[in-house]
A and B are shown apart, each in its own frame.
Chain A
Amino acid sequence: MLLSLEGATVRFGGRAVLGAVDLGVAEHEIVCVLGPSGSGKSTLLRAVAGLQHLDAGRVLLDGRDQGGVPAHRRGVGLMFQDHQLFPQRDVGGNVAFGLRMRGAASRGEQDGQVRELLDLVGLPGAGRRAVASLSGGEQQRVALARALAPRPRLLMLDEPLGQLDRSLRERLVVELRELFGRLGTTVLAVTHDQGEAFALADRVVVMRDGRIAQSGTPLEVWQRPADEFVARFLGFDNVVEGTVVGEAADTPWGKVPVPAGAVQGVRMLLVRPAGVRLVSADSGLRCVVVARTFKGTHVAVQLEAEGAPRLEAACALREAPGVGDVVGVEFDGAEIVVLG
């Protein structure tokens, strides 16, 4: 493991912002820490960078304990949430900063490397520009080039695309993944945006209140959220308690099928919107349509059944019922997950 955290703990005034976190990042791996604000993700990065003192536990880089190693000797890169470009330097001066601190290259070599890096992030010839004249996306690229310049063994990104508009974000996340793959960069990123995390990461780590709630590939996390918190954080609202007996479960929505081999007993169940099938009003669970939201490829329909929580269904555009319609609901066992 290039980076290992062992029981890393940080307390702010008695509250554990990081509670005994164990985490490993292998070389060339892109790990994305996903969590709501206040879950301790930024603190995690700061602890690895050496900007935040650990109250307990260890940070190891290449197997070496980093306790007592100051931030400037750790050889890791950190891209700050709002970039923190040096306002009094131009773009080239910002990118060259890390090279100058390492003190290895001559002035000419530095200039060459800065040019290469600016080409790499898609800002060729921008070296003389003032950082104040850059757009948000350009600042993000400069910040990336600056962080990459000293060739850190580990690159950390704090909400790398957080302040950019959606289309730019979606384009950049693809570019980033390509770029890191090409350079073989080891990356530890944090974000609150699941789409960003899934698009960027080899492995996603979901954090909650300073602890790791789940870790796995994007597909694993998406398909089998570990618990109600992860499921709801990923945007699934059809979470309900039920009693699993055999291949069915008793829920407020009636009896629903569950996959074979599901854990028995009282459990939380996740019903994906795709697993909620609308049928004619005289069969299945009787529901009233209370809202519909156009999602581009499908329509999200909010359903209300008597004495049960709201239910979201994903419908094809042409088949979506109108608000106030009465429909029947049936469930698809393949889209139902029994949570841990």
Chain B
Amino acid sequence: MAARLGLMAVPVAFFALFFAYPVAAIVARGLKVDGVWQFGRIADVLGQSDIRHVLWFTSWQALASTGLTLLVALPAAYVFARFDFPGKQFLRAVVTVPFVLPTVVVGTAFLALVGRGGLLDELWGVRLDTTVWAILLAHVFFNYAVVVRTVGGLWAQLDPRQEEAARMLGSSRWAAWRKVTLPALAPAVAAAALMVFLFTFTSFGVVQILGGPTFSTLEVEIYRQTSEIFDLATAAVLTVIQFVAVGAILAVHAWTVRRRETALRLVDASVTARRPRGAGQWGLLAGVVGCIVVLLALPLAVLVQRSLDAPDFGYYRALTDADGGVFLVAPIEAIGNSLEYAVVATVIAVLIGGLAAAALTRRDAGRFVRGFDALLMLPLGVSAVTVGFGFLIALDEPPLDLRATWILVPLAQALVGVPFVVRTMLPVLRAVDERLREAAAVLGASPWRVWREVDLPMVRRALLIAAGFAFAVSLGEFGATVFIARPDNPTLPVAVARLLGRAGELNYGQAMALSTVLMVVCAVALLVLERLRTDRTGEF
């Protein structure tokens, strides 16, 4: 128990300092007038019909987006887990790229696809940007990878013989899947669904661009109240409401996961995949590939096409030019900044998240530890805007003045990345048979050696996936970074947003070009990760 508390000390301190403290600061700034708490403000804000409308829309669009994402992505998770086909690695990376794109770029790409003057408009005169469908499709685009990676990663390691055993006991193929595989996958599906729900519940960039004046989420409203109306009090109240809602969702999730937790029989992922057989399986594969092409590749293709819409790579060449006036430096330098920040943020996130996951692994974890599990998820649910704004107002005065240091940006990005690391590693860590650890202990391995010798080799894959996610999230992080990135050190998403915020063909084209660069950087990083993964599967 003492050892576990020791493991948790670092993550707890990290969260207290860089999450709880800034959030407390912003809430106090909003709700405290002349040193007196004004809790009546909460009722006032909730009494406004437009706020209630925002709450209602935020909830149902998140639910609809989650359902739609699961519907589209679960067959893909199956295909990636169980089928072997040429180009699988590449396709897996393609699937993950959208997730790491800045929300602003996704919004713009979909606008270019389904908006006014977009591809569909040009071809058939179809426009979706005035309906909620544009938002829902963009959310599916975004979160497809969450489901495929979280669910598919576990699915690939489930022993197919378990299903065979059920079939020999008289179950139909469908019943065997439902009774054997589905319960084993349920925690991963729940984790993925929870992530998707939280991302869409707190969706910012996508709704900002595709929602127009009609559709507004809580997050957009908080941003609007903060930066346009400068009504900090209302923004703070909305933050509190979001906090409570997210806390409730997380509590339900923790409860379901705990109920379903089982030690799984994991096998090498490479032995469970085989070539599709029969028209049905090839059809399923074709359907999934078709879906990926239309839903994921097409918007990106449109994005690239727009970035090349000037002679001689004009938009790209303009990126090396500092004279544009949007930045103090050439936009191209944002690439270096982004990579440096993302590497540091990944190291922090993997360290903090890994420690937390190790501490949370034990089945006999008490109430306190489980509460900590939920706490770790909160940065996912609280708006990134709040994190960034909180950093700005809380960490800018002694004793903790970090405003002038570069570490502020990676810290904020790591904060957003940690829940990914924990979520990815925990299911796998918990699936490691406790008696394997005991076997190692009896052979003389100290708790630390047990972790290194037993847990680490088994979760290396999950750890790499987690690191990849943390890296991608850091690269694409926008909501918090936009508040704290210094003008002379912009990150890629911040640079894109600034370019988009300016009128003119050249700025728009440069934004497209820079987004394309970001997309390529992400794709390369992920392809490297994929390569790393194949090299290690033998050890699994």
Question: Which A residue's beta carbon lies closest to that of B450?
Answer: A72
In the complex, chain B residues whose CB is within 8 Å of the CB of A97: 440, 443, 445, 453
Are B436 and A98 in contact, CB atoms less than 8 angstroms apart? Answer: no
Tell me if A101 is interfacial: C-beta within 8 Å of chain B.
Answer: yes
Partner of A101, one of B435, B444, B447: B444
B537 to chain A, nearest CB (A): 11
Are B439 and A88 in contact, CB atoms less than 8 angstroms apart? Answer: no
Which of A77-85, A311-319, A324-332 lies on the face that meets chain B? A77-85
Are A88 and B457 in contact, CB atoms less than 8 angstroms apart? Answer: yes
Are A72 and B446 in contact, CB atoms less than 8 angstroms apart? Answer: yes
Are A80 and B449 in contact, CB atoms less than 8 angstroms apart? Answer: no
Size of the A side of the interface (Cβ < 8 Å), in residues, is 29
Q: Measured between alpha carbons, how far is A70 from B321 in the docked complex, in Å?
A: 64
Q: Measured between alpha carbons, how far is A49 from B441 in the docked complex, in Å?
A: 9
In the complex, chain B residues whose CB is within 8 Å of the CB of A86: 436, 439-440, 453-454, 457
| 31-73 of chain A: CB within 8 A of chain B | 46, 49-51, 70-73
In the complex, chain B residues whose CB is within 8 Å of the CB of A76: 442
Are A72 and B442 in contact, CB atoms less than 8 angstroms apart? Answer: yes
Q: Measured between alpha carbons, how far is A138 from B443 in the docked complex, in Å?
A: 20
Q: A72-B446, A80-B435, A97-B453 are in contact. Are A88 and B458 (CB under 8 A)?
A: yes
In the complex, chain A residues whose CB is within 8 Å of the CB of B268: 132
Q: C-beta contact mask, B435-472 vs A, less than 8 Å → 1, else 0?
A: 11011111111110110011001100000000000000
Q: Measured between alpha carbons, how far is A46 from B439 in the docked complex, in Å?
A: 11
In the complex, chain A residues whose CB is within 8 Å of the CB of B450: 72
Are B540 and A77 in contact, CB atoms less than 8 angstroms apart? Answer: no
Q: Measured between alpha carbons, how far is A183 from B446 in the docked complex, in Å?
A: 27
Are B444 and A98 in contact, CB atoms less than 8 angstroms apart? Answer: yes
Tell me if A273 is interfacial: C-beta within 8 Å of chain B.
Answer: no
In the complex, chain B residues whose CB is within 8 Å of the CB of A150: 443-444
Question: Which A residue's beta carbon lies closest to that of B3?
Answer: A70
Tell me if B433 is interfacial: C-beta within 8 Å of chain A.
Answer: yes
Tell me if A286 is interfacial: C-beta within 8 Å of chain B.
Answer: no
In the complex, chain B residues whose CB is within 8 Å of the CB of A72: 441-447, 449-450
Tell me if B228 is interfacial: C-beta within 8 Å of chain A.
Answer: no
Partner of A80, one of B439, B444, B447, B457: B439
Q: Taking each of A73, A75, A84, which has the highest tally of chain B beta carbons within 10 Å of its own beta carbon?
A: A84
Q: Measured between alpha carbons, how far is A98 from B449 in the docked complex, in Å?
A: 11
Tell me if B539 is interfacial: C-beta within 8 Å of chain A.
Answer: yes
Are A84 and B433 in contact, CB atoms less than 8 angstroms apart? Answer: yes
Size of the B side of the interface (Cβ < 8 Å), in residues, is 22
Q: Measured between alpha carbons, how far is A84 from B432 in the docked complex, in Å?
A: 11
Tell me if A102 is interfacial: C-beta within 8 Å of chain B.
Answer: yes
Partner of B442, one of A71, A82, A88, A132: A71
Tell me if A146 is interfacial: C-beta within 8 Å of chain B.
Answer: yes
Q: Taking each of B433, B435, B446, which has the highest tally of chain A beta carbons within 10 Å of its own beta carbon?
A: B435
B127 to chain A, nearest CB (A): 54
Partner of B539, one of A50, A75, A88, A146: A88
Question: Which B residue's beta carbon lies closest to that of A82?
Answer: B435
In the complex, chain B residues whose CB is within 8 Å of the CB of A89: 457
In the complex, chain A residues whose CB is within 8 Å of the CB of B444: 72-73, 75, 98, 101-102, 150
Q: C-beta contact mask, A126-161 vs B, less than 8 Å → 1, else 0?
A: 000000100000000000001101100000000000
Are B439 and A101 in contact, CB atoms less than 8 angstroms apart? Answer: no
In the complex, chain A residues whose CB is within 8 Å of the CB of B438: 46, 49, 51, 71, 78, 80, 84
Question: Which B residue's beta carbon lies closest to that of A84?
Answer: B439
Are A78 and B442 in contact, CB atoms less than 8 angstroms apart? Answer: yes
A273 to chain B, nearest CB (A): 38
Q: Measured between alpha carbons, how far is A288 from B443 in the docked complex, in Å?
A: 58
Q: A84-B436, A88-B458 are in contact. Are A49 and B442 (CB under 8 A)?
A: yes
Q: Measured between alpha carbons, how far is A146 from B540 in the docked complex, in Å?
A: 20
Q: C-beta contact mask, A212-243 vs B, less than 8 Å → 1, else 0?
A: 00000000000000000000000000000000
In the complex, chain B residues whose CB is within 8 Å of the CB of A147: 443
Are A70 and B453 in contact, CB atoms less than 8 angstroms apart? Answer: no
In the complex, chain B residues whose CB is within 8 Å of the CB of A78: 438-439, 442
Are B441 and A71 in contact, CB atoms less than 8 angstroms apart? Answer: yes
Q: Taking each of B440, B442, B444, B449, which has the highest tally of chain A beta carbons within 10 Å of its own beta carbon?
A: B442
Q: Measured between alpha carbons, how far is A97 from B443 in the docked complex, in Å?
A: 7
B297 to chain A, nearest CB (A): 36
A139 to chain B, nearest CB (A): 13
Which residues of B are interface residues toward A (Cβ below 8 A)?
268, 433, 435-436, 438-447, 449-450, 453-454, 457-458, 539-540
Which residues of A are interface residues toward B (Cβ below 8 A)?
46, 49-51, 70-78, 80, 82, 84, 86-89, 97-98, 101-102, 132, 146-147, 149-150
Contacts beyond the supplied A50-B442, A70-B446, A101-B443: 4 A-B pairs with Cβ under 8 Å? A50-B441, A72-B450, A78-B442, A97-B440
Query: Please, could you name 13 A-B residue pairs with CB atoms under 8 Å apart, sorted by A?
Result: A46-B438, A70-B441, A71-B438, A72-B442, A72-B445, A82-B435, A84-B436, A84-B438, A86-B436, A88-B458, A97-B445, A101-B445, A147-B443
